[in-house]
Structure 1
Amino acid sequence: MNRHNLQAKLIARLWRLLSRRSPTTLWRLATAIEPLYALLAVRERRVTRMNLRQAFPGMEKKARRAQIHASLRHSIATMLELGLAWKGEPARVEASIKEVKGRELLDRAREEGRGVIVLAPHFGNWEVLNFWLSSHFPFTAMYAPPRIGALDPLIRRGRERMGAQLVPTSARGVASLLKALQRSEAIGILPDQEPEWGSGEFADFFGHPAYTATLLPKLVSRTSARVVVGVARRREQRNGFEIHFLEADERVYAERDEALSARGVNASVERAVALDAMQYQWEYKRYRKTPGERENADGWRERRFYHQGRRKP
């Protein structure tokens, strides 16, 4: 058995074990793990600090340190909850969703014969959101295989088990999304994942330019779909989740102006983040690409940005 197969087997066993635990227990476990994780995960802590500094400038060191630890705690909880979302008994997962707010946005669009584009940022537990959407609506989403190929069957089964259709991140996948919208179904898009050069526009995200995908206006221009933001937020009691569907910023419908639509996408994500900023995945390098730097996305400017200020937060 090679190293990746062994890793996949161990991870699958861990998720199977965690799938029997309640959200409250998983949160307590995340809280216990976080101090050690923050000490060892140097890259994640550094990127989280830099992104939070960009998004919320002028904060005192003590408050910033608390932000970083809270953000990492939520990220750990997300990883632990994957067992519940992908392998837990469906009735238990459904019971962990205590409330659904804004469902009428989806129902109204479908009653009008429109498809629904759900912008699902990396907030709270997006796999719980996928579970709920695919349990209640015909639902299609793009899927890119993980770096550890041996995990692909496990993740795919987890995401598809309630009926979701996964399509590749390619022209064929985009065609499948269009067909789903034309059937008045729901599709999911990750609005805060940095695209390849040539597939996006720079638009402000918390006041700083972030390279943002322009798939959305292409889909809007060819359908009558409505756009909403969807997240699964951990409740304050940490005993389950609340599903929130929010109206998207009206600029997302600027189908002939991709830059304006991208600004609407990021403004829509900011609306979701406002529900609880620390539940957003701040350790992702959202500002990795910079305006005017298209020749080398992983060049020295990225390293300078994300490695500056190495002092402790």
Structure 2
Amino acid sequence: MERLKGAIIIGFLRVFSLLPFAMAQRLGAAVGWLLWILPNRSKDVVRINLSHCMPHLAAGERDDLVRQTLLDTGRSFAESACAWMWKPAKTVALIKEVEGAQVLQKALERGKGVVSITSHLGNWEVLNHWYCSQCSPVIFYRPPKQQSVDALLRRQRAQLGNRVAPSTREGITMVMREVRRGGAVGIPADPEPAVKSGEFVPFFAVSALTSKFVPNLLRGGEAQAIFMHCVRLPGGGFKVIVEAAPEALYSSDVNEATACMSAVIESYVRRWPSQYMWSMKRFKKRPAGEKRWY
């Protein structure tokens, strides 16, 4: 069954990648529109997450945000299909603005290890190609269940000579070694970890189990952390934003450092709320005694 699912997924990816980019985006938005009008679990999860994280919104405002989020989710899928199938240069050409490129360059010049932190905001696959065009990082990722899809993503995400590290014990070791030797890594910080690997810290004033992998990597003060995101521009194309991490992220108090990381990601999501992947079950694990959301 997983082999069949993998073949279907790859087939859809190839179809999207054959289209002109603007048409692929429109088709992706159409998929998002279907998610909006039809009963489905993704819409339910978006609505649940937004009801907890943005309780101040009126019902009509929240419905508008749910709808726009699903449209942007469809766009992200279509854009990612193109990024996975195209040559990296074609994807990077979609980036119209870069803010803070000098922050990355200065961090690389130190030669002490660079930990680039991102989240599921905008399009992280487009960001991956831009980042890998600037250096040769190790990209940390969570493998999909379908082996054929995983093989495709491993190959396509490493077209520029970089390496990828799955979220396994071996992958974690690879990332740690790369940082210790002064190399660069890229880590999405918002997937929910195992309880033993995370800390409950605020995210939109809600307790969210958040990975402490990055704070642990930064212990000792040798490596430098930066935040990187790639957001969709209203007129078409993308904008990459690079920002130095606050000092609190280097705190020896793991909870404080993890909370700092969560707060920075939240600040980006507040600026582009519909471009965040609210369909992710970000709050699946709850503090002891708290009712489950999903």
Matches within 5 A, 1:57-136: 57-136=55-134
**Number of the residue aligned with 1:137:** 135
Which residue of 1 is the match for residue 249 of structure 2?
Answer: 252
2:238 equivalent to 1:241 = yes
SS at match of 2:239: strand
- Of 275, 279, 282, the residue aligned with 1:279 is 275
Q: Which amino acid aligns with 2:248?
A: R
Q: Which residue does 1:148 correspond to in 2?
A: 146
TM-superposition CA deviations, 1:8-67 (whole Å, max 9, x none): 223223322322334422222223232322233521111111211222222122111110
1:97-153 CA-to-partner distances (Å, cap 9, x unmatched) read 112111111111122223211111001111111111112211102233211223221
Deviation at 1:184, TM superposition (A): 2.9
1:5-84 alignment to 2 at 5 Å?
A: 5-40=3-38, 42-84=40-82
Aligned residues: 294
| Residues 168 and 90 of structure 1: CA distance in aligned 2, closer, same or farther (over 3 Å) | closer
Checking the alignment, whether the CA contact within 8 Å between 1:251 and 1:260 is kept in structure 2 is: yes
* 1:181, distance to aligned residue in structure 2 (A): 1.9
Where does residue 288 of structure 1 map in the other structure? 284
Identity %: 31
Rate the CA distance shift 1:22–1:264 in 2: closer, same or farther, 3 A.
Answer: farther
Paired amino acid for 1:275: R
SS state of the match for residue 281, structure 1? coil
Q: How far 1:208 sits from its partner (Å)? A: 0.8
Q: Give the structure-1-normalised TM-score.
A: 0.87
Separation (CA, whole Å) in 1 of partners of 2:99 and 2:247? 20
2:291 aligns with 301
Residue 190 (structure 2) aligns with: 192
The residue matched to 2:157 in structure 1 has which SS?
helix
1:184-216, Cα deviation, whole Å (9 max, x unpaired) = 322111211111121111100011110111111
Shift of 1:223: 5.2
**Aligned equivalents of 1:22, 1:133: Cα separation in 2:** 24
Say if 2:88 and 2:159, in contact at 8 Å, map to a contact too: no
Deviations 1:252-307 (A, max 9, x none): 111x21111110110111122133111011111222212125xxxxxx932xx23x
**223-232 or 260-269, which deviates more:** 223-232
Q: Is the 8 A contact 1:20 1:88 kept in 2?
A: no
Give the 3 Å change call, closer, same or farther, for CA 170–34 of structure 1 in structure 2: closer
1:165 shift after superposition: 0.9
Alignment check: 8 A CA contact 1:119 1:191 kept: yes
**Conservation of the 8 A alpha-carbon contact between 1:246 and 1:272:** no
**Mapped partners of 1:234, 1:148: distance in 2:** 28
Residues 222-254 of structure 1, C-alpha deviation per residue, up to 9 Å, x if partnerless?
A: 4511111111111111x2111111232332111
CA RMSD, Structure 1 to Structure 2 (Å): 1.9
Structure 2 counterpart of 1:268, one-letter code: V
- TM-score in terms of structure 2 length: 0.93
Q: Distance in 1 between matches of 2:119 and 2:39?
A: 23
Change (3 A) 1:93 1:204: same
Match of 2:262 in 1: 266
CA contact (8 A) 1:23 1:96 kept: no
Per-residue deviation, 1:78: 1.2
Where do 5+ consecutive residues of structure 1 fail to align?
294-299, 307-313
The amino acid across from 2:76 in the alignment is T
Question: More deviation in 76-85 or 215-224?
Answer: 215-224
Give the alignment partner of residue 210 of structure 1, picking from 194, 208, 211. Answer: 208
